[in-house]
Structure 1
Amino acid sequence: MKQTFPKKEHLKRKKILDKLFAEKNKISAYPLLLFYVETSLPEEEVQIQAGVSVAKRNHKLAVIRNRIKRLMREVYRKNKTQFQTNDKTYAFMFIYTGREVPVIDELEKAMVKLITKFNTKVTSENQNTPL
């Protein structure tokens, strides 16, 4: 996987977003929250489609929200190769839950925690399901 975040990897479809929040599979590593769902994606060569979100309730100014989203996309782009998908396709939504404007190092640490939690959860789910 390249360390890029092209448009085909952006999560945009309403049907997938609705399914993502309906199933409520989530992992938390403050200040990030990851909602994920295993689903079929329209792009065949993509294994993960991801989106980012920041609550307007916590950050009133759009400039601040956009800055946080830009930082989150950058951190995801750098670390997306560490996700173990086991040839399955996933939809991810990263939500920033903190009230302060983050530093990129803080987001990087939270993303690494999320990745390790996700990988352990997915491998344990795969071991529990019979073939």
Structure 2
Amino acid sequence: MSTEVDFKYPKNEKLKSRKTIDLLFTEGKSVSKFPLRLVYTPIEDCEGKIKFGVSVSKKHFKHAVDRNYFKRVLRECYRLNKHLILDNLDQKYAIMFFYQTKERLTYSEINEKTILLFEKWITTLKEGNLKLNY
């Protein structure tokens, strides 16, 4: 078996279930690295290790064109960096990715922040597991 990194974003990784999204907003925990925020919650019923969704506020970007642009950028950053989180997950998660500023950051700035955010989330999960073991 090869150790190739899978850069796909298949349909079974997309967060579409209204019930799961509601669960994220009611019971989810979050991690932030300005201007990005990641809300996550453990789930049982999913095919892969992760269900992923993105959101850009209408408050910050009035035009759908702008919101769609940043959603595409966020999905691309996830797709290219998801190996950072998939290699470190011990259970299945639903995660939602938010872009929370009016600033129009470049793709490379958002990508850097995504990497930092994913690393921070993994650290948070590992610290949480350590606390559970004691």
What TM-score, normalized by structure 1, do the two folds share? 0.92
- CA RMSD in angstroms comes to 1.3
Percent same amino acid at aligned positions?
36
Does the Cα contact within 8 Å between 1:49 and 1:92 map onto a contact in 2?
yes
C-alpha distance in 2 between matches for 1:101 and 1:51:
20
Count, aligned residues: 128
Cα distance, 1:34 vs. partner?
0.4
C-alpha distance in 2 between matches for 1:42 and 1:94:
18
Deviates more, 1:70-79 or 1:14-23: 14-23
Cα distance, 1:40 vs. partner?
1.1
* Corresponding residue to 2:102 among 99, 103, 110: 99
Gaps of 5+ in 2: none
* Structure 1 stretches of 4+ moved >3 Å: none
Does the Cα contact within 8 Å between 2:46 and 2:92 map onto a contact in 1?
no
Secondary structure of residue in 2 paired with 1:124: helix
C-alpha distance in 2 between matches for 1:3 and 1:101:
25
Secondary structure of residue in 2 paired with 1:119: helix
Cα distance, 1:31 vs. partner?
1.0
What residue in structure 2 maps to residue 47 of structure 1? Answer: 49
C-alpha distance in 2 between matches for 1:42 and 1:121:
22
2:86 matches 1:68: no
What TM-score, normalized by structure 2, do the two folds share? 0.90
What residue in structure 2 maps to residue 35 of structure 1? Answer: 39
What residue in structure 2 maps to residue 89 of structure 1? Answer: 92
Cα distance, 1:129 vs. partner?
1.4
Does the Cα contact within 8 Å between 1:64 and 1:101 map onto a contact in 2?
no
